[in-house]
Amino acid sequence: MKREAASEVRRALNTYTTNVNFNRNKYEFKGSKEEKSSMIRSDRLPTANDVIRSDLDSRDLFRNQVQTSLEDAKAEFLYIKKESGGDASKADVSELIGLLTDAKGAIDKWFGFIATEDVKLALDAVQKESKVVE
């Protein structure tokens, strides 16, 4: 709760993850037919609960990577600002760019868990809402 209060990004990602609905009775295997057959024969096909746990753990991992990269980027920005005396032409921003690139990569992976159809529905809802506000 304390971490969420300090970070809107963490709170937003956690809110979404908390509200994800899973079907505990089935899941879609994304591997090849050969991989699936091999896993079934060796009794290694994961259960729906295993898949859900893995999904949630992965989302948390990427959320943490986003959060850490953003915190590091903020600290780097403040350091650059202090060291350059506000003169952007004196600043070496390569470290800052790297941290922001890391944050983008992690958030892209986090969003990669969301089904394309769900993204489309969300974008449609936002567009409809923005038309009402205008």
Instruction: Give me the tens of pLDDT residue by residue for the chain, a chain 134 residues long.
Output: 677 678 899 999 999 999 988 888 888 888 899 999 999 999 999 999 999 999 999 999 999 999 999 999 999 999 998 988 878 787 889 999 999 999 999 999 999 999 899 889 989 999 998 887 66
Yes or no: say if 118 and 77 are a contact pair by the CB < 8 Å rule. Answer: no
Of the candidates 1, 2, 3, the one whose C-alpha atom is nearest the C-alpha of residue 70 is 3
Yes or no: say if 3 and 42 are a contact pair by the CB < 8 Å rule. Answer: no
**Token couple for 46:** 């994961």
Domain boundaries, the chain: 48-109
Yes or no: say if 123 and 115 are a contact pair by the CB < 8 Å rule. Answer: no
- For residues 99 and 13, what is the distance between their CA atoms, to the nearest angstrom? 19
